[in-house]
Structure 1
Amino acid sequence: MTRFSKMHGLGNDFVVIDAREAAVAISAARAQAIADRHAGVGCDQLILIEPSAVADVKMRIFNADGSEVEACGNATRCIPLFLGRNARIETAAGLLDARLTDDGASVDMGTPRFEWEAIPLAYAMDTLTMPVGWEDLPAPAAVNVGNPHVIFFVDDLDAVDTARLGALIEVDPLFPARVNVNFAQQVGDRHLRLIVWERGAGLTRACGTGACATAVAAIRRGLMRGPVTVTLPGGDLAIDWAPGGHIRMTGPATHVFDGEIDLDRL
């Protein structure tokens, strides 16, 4: 039997498995089976914690569809809570510094990238105001914050068919690595509402990297200055960034329960 913890950040939920002492083999099919909300444990992402030669731990992230991805901001906040201490975390997107707060964690998410080939896009274009569109959506921005994001700023978030358009845009050929799709509405001088269609997971209650990417795009466009409050369906995140600097994300993390699962039966 393999022990796990069920955790979430603003409702974006995870199955966390500690593989520091004994390796745990995770395939795409096994990750899918664990994430299945009817026949498995159920989660948006499976998080595997492994030993690291360069940090306190290494974090691997598997989406509900079994794909392994580079970054997950909400999961990163859960790691120091899981460990019970501040932690430097090795990820495929780089080294992240996560520190405990009263109700979660504050994470240095590193520096965003804006070059078209770093997103990546299929061909060169301006990533601040992209000369492309889907139906009535305005020209988006694109940001890589360890994983790829495209951001649409809209006047009325409730009028957008986020599920249909998110699924369509995620797999558009413009995004050779697929993309996380962010739909944002400015509701104050330093306040955004956000809904995210996550690559490989669909609509989730919250997306930490999406909140980072969207706040960065809003600041780059001159819509606001940091810190920015980003309100997602699951709650609020505080994102602070100044051009040329690192992104700081602060928000809740919650431990729900512990359990055991027989991986050989999946």
Structure 2
Amino acid sequence: MAEAITAAAATSLSIKPLTRHSPLFLSSTSFPILRLNSHKNPNFRPLVVSSSTSIESVATEKTSSKTAFLDQREGSRYLHFVKYHGLGNDFILVDNRDSSEPKITPEQAAKLCDRNFGIGADGVIFALPGINGTDYTMRIFNSDGSEPEMCGNGVRCFARFIAELENLHGKKLSFSVHTGAGLIVPEIQEDGKVKVDMGEPVLKAVDVPTKLAANKNDAVVKSELVVDGVTWNVTCVSMGNPHCVTFGIKGGQELQVDALNLAQIGPKFEHHEVFPARTNTEFVQVYSPSHLKMRVWERGAGATLACGTGACATVVAAVLEGHAGRNCTVDLPGGPLEIEWREEDNHVYMTGPAEMVFYGSVPV
């Protein structure tokens, strides 16, 4: 069988819900076709269906029934996927509800995330059966093959993916998701945005974790950290995954985040000895008490266009350091997120978009 991938941009199309028993097809308008390079078969041919071809005719022409497309590849070397992004933080979503273990290995996920020789993404997310009374389980492999506890932008994409799988279009709904960071409850709003109860921030230094000495109620708040000979003021927060938030260097002027070379400084924070589990790092510029700008170096993914847990950690740190109030717009390179740290329940709430990009099948 010739190796092929079916993929086309679908951001302006009316997409039918995908289930395990629906054929995976692709239609295109004037958008460019996404082509994947393959080490195994550099001569593979992408299969694209024109926008004038009906879904039903494709299913009939290629298979004897709508379910036959999946049935003939079930257990084969093909992985069916849908790609989503949350403010440019992009993920490959896999329907894994029939198994408690991911369909592919971390090494395979890293290859699929490669932007030159794969689909291209910041991570692969699996929708698995729920455990401990939850509706679903979410697991994610980063682009380097590591597995983080959680991902804020990823959980918004996960919620929209579940809505597609369960045919829940245009409805306001919420469900419970088990993650490595604990219980997460996303809510799809009527405007299509996703609001997520991210739970309580963890501030105790030993639980973040960080080896920096606690200086405020067992927490690390505006503490000094020397990185590459420069002393930074940092606050450490866990949103189920570790974050180091900085508003600038000691005694320095207000941080200008666009001037930073993240590729140079980011890894030095991530792999610093005071972070035994490595860390995500947020560099923050304060516009006003309700408006922040942030750039992020993500653990296991590098510089990304957005980080949901990072935006949450940023607002928590901004409140603790006295830079901002509990309701903030956080500008990221990919767009804004609305973050609220509620005083009454100590939970952090994140609201933002998640969009489908394209979907298809790829040999693994």
Deviation at 1:125, TM superposition (A): 2.7
Residue 165 of structure 1, aligned match among 248, 265, 276: 265
Quick one: distance in 1 between partners of 2:302 and 2:316?
22
Calculate the aligned-residue CA RMSD, in Å. 1.5
Partner of 1:139: 233
Partner of 2:287: 187
Residue 103 of structure 1, aligned match among 176, 187, 192: 192
| Alignment-mate amino acid for residue 273 of structure 2 | P
TM-score (normalised: structure 1): 0.94
Whether 1:228 and 2:228 are equivalent positions in the alignment is no
Larger-gyration structure (1/2):
2
Asked which structure has the greater RCO (Cα within 8 Å, sep 6+), the reply is 1
| Alignment-mate amino acid for residue 161 of structure 2 | F
**Equivalent pair of 1:140/1:152 in contact (CA under 8 Å):** yes
**Equivalent pair of 1:238/1:249 in contact (CA under 8 Å):** yes
Deviation at 1:122, TM superposition (A): 2.8
C-alpha deviations, 1:37-91, integer Å up to 9, x for none?
A: 1221110011011001321110001110000110100011112211115321110
**Equivalent pair of 1:171/1:178 in contact (CA under 8 Å):** yes
| Alignment-mate amino acid for residue 245 of structure 2 | I
Quick one: distance in 2 between partners of 1:139 and 1:226?
21
Quick one: distance in 1 between partners of 2:103 and 2:160?
24
Quick one: distance in 2 between partners of 1:210 and 1:259?
30
Q: Residue 224 of structure 1 aligns to a residue in which SS?
A: coil
Whether 1:122 and 2:211 are equivalent positions in the alignment is yes
Structure 1: give runs of 5+ residues left out of the alignment.
Answer: none
**Equivalent pair of 1:184/1:214 in contact (CA under 8 Å):** yes
C-alpha deviations, 1:85-132, integer Å up to 9, x for none?
A: 532111010011101121320000000011111111135333112232
Quick one: distance in 1 between partners of 2:92 and 2:304?
15
Quick one: distance in 1 between partners of 2:239 and 2:299?
14
**Equivalent pair of 1:20/1:49 in contact (CA under 8 Å):** yes
Moved more, 75-84 or 204-213: 75-84
**Equivalent pair of 1:133/1:140 in contact (CA under 8 Å):** no
Moved more, 124-133 or 97-106: 124-133
Partner of 2:354: 253
Quick one: distance in 1 between partners of 2:325 and 2:93?
35
Quick one: distance in 1 between partners of 2:185 and 2:342?
18
Q: Residue 228 of structure 1 aligns to a residue in which SS?
A: strand
TM-score (normalised: structure 2): 0.70
Moved more, 251-260 or 8-17: 251-260
Quick one: distance in 2 between partners of 1:24 and 1:93?
18
Residue 313 of structure 2, aligned match among 184, 190, 213: 213
Partner of 1:31: 109
Whether 1:78 and 2:157 are equivalent positions in the alignment is yes
Moved more, 124-133 or 247-256: 124-133
Bigger share in strand:
1
Structure 2: give runs of 5+ residues left out of the alignment.
Answer: 1-77, 169-173, 249-253
Partner of 2:243: 149
| Alignment-mate amino acid for residue 120 of structure 1 | P
Q: Residue 138 of structure 1 aligns to a residue in which SS?
A: strand
Deviation at 1:133, TM superposition (A): 2.7
Q: Residue 221 of structure 2 aligns to a residue in which SS?
A: coil
**Equivalent pair of 1:212/1:249 in contact (CA under 8 Å):** yes
Partner of 2:175: 87
